[in-house]
Structure 1
Amino acid sequence: MRRAEISQWRLPIPREKLSAYIHSARLGRGISQDEMVRGTELSLSTLRKIENGTTTNPGLFTLHRIWHKLDLPWDALGQVTQELTSSRRRTP
């Protein structure tokens, strides 16, 4: 895949969960989970938990590795994180 194609990834759609965005981006890039593990130095278990939504709030260091490997736009991180944060707020 050429670098120009990779840098043209989409921003999250409204209400898109972090897990769905990462999974979709990985598949859209044609990257296997094994390649992600090698490229991010995360465990396969961690990656699977993030992609299936079991881990809904991974650490910043973990997200940085994923974003870097998938070459995702950094402003997308704020959009999916904001969705996660706003959905967890309690109403008084």
Structure 2
Amino acid sequence: MDHDETGPVHLRRIDPSRNMRRFYMLAIQPTLFGGASVIRNWGRIGTNGRSMMETFDSDDDAASASARLERAKRRKGYRDSARPE
């Protein structure tokens, strides 16, 4: 793939005053037909959470979608996780 990201991105947002402990994971995987998929997994830390897969025709489209999602989550207060949740 032609994007900078080499592996999944694991983010988390913890705010004890709001009883908030959330995780968000983004990964890009190739499809069987030459495209790429952005896999998202999110939820409360300690649960399996929810998942969504979005498929794109090219690796570049998937990489830009993933970067856009990551920027949006970071603006909302998500930070790098020390380990995958």
TM-score grouping bracket, smaller chain normalisation:
under 0.3
Q: Which has the higher strand share?
A: 2
Q: Which has the higher helix share?
A: 1
Normalised to the residue count of structure 2, the TM-score between the two structures is: 0.27
Normalised to the residue count of structure 1, the TM-score between the two structures is: 0.26
